[in-house]
Amino acid sequence: MSTPAQTTATTAHIHAALQDTYDPCSQSWQRPMSLIDLGLIRQVTLTPDGHATVRISLTAPFCMALPTIMQAIEHKVGHIEGIHHVTVTLDTTTPWHPGLMTPQGHHLLTTARTQTQHTPPPTPPAHTPPLNSP
């Protein structure tokens, strides 16, 4: 009987994949932020046989995007060479707050807010007379 091969994947590989996994709500607000930068990743563990577990928290307790986030994590982490199984668990004890964001996350959000504040409102269209006017 043979023992399973040990994985060559590392938690650093998982963190890199999660850095490229974006929060769907931030994308819908046109301020895409990764799960890492938002501070949603609580813990990443990896067993020698390639079972990754990612524990996450949410920005809101009843986040409607939870299934999408979990599927994205499973997809990204599951495509890392040496990962054979992915489990995503939800941390319901650690409430999210902006202090959990990475410095990069704070920078991205500040930059996006600054750009929004300096973007002039759209110019209303010029008045055109009705088609039936004399």
Mean pLDDT, rounded, for 62-70:
91
Q: Specify the pTM.
A: 0.78
> Dmax over Cα atoms in the chain, in whole Å?
94
Task: State pLDDT tens for residues 75-90.
Answer: 999 999 999 999 999 9
DSSP string, 38-87: HT-EEEEEE-TTSEEEEEE--SSTT-TTHHHHHHHHHHHHHTSTT--EEE
Q: Place 2 in a pLDDT band, splitting at 50, 70 and 90.
A: very low
Helical (H) or strand (E) element with 9: none
Helix (H, G, I), strand (E, B) or coil at 90: strand
Task: State pLDDT tens for residues 9-60.
Answer: 999 999 999 999 999 888 887 788 999 999 999 999 999 999 999 999 998 8
Task: State pLDDT tens for residues 87-121.
Answer: 999 998 988 899 999 999 988 888 877 776 666 66
Helical (H) or strand (E) element with 88: strand 85-90
Question: Domains in the chain, start-ordered, CATH in brackets?
Answer: 11-104 (3.30.300.130)
Question: What pLDDT, on a 0 to 100 scale, did the predictor assign at position 99?
Answer: 93
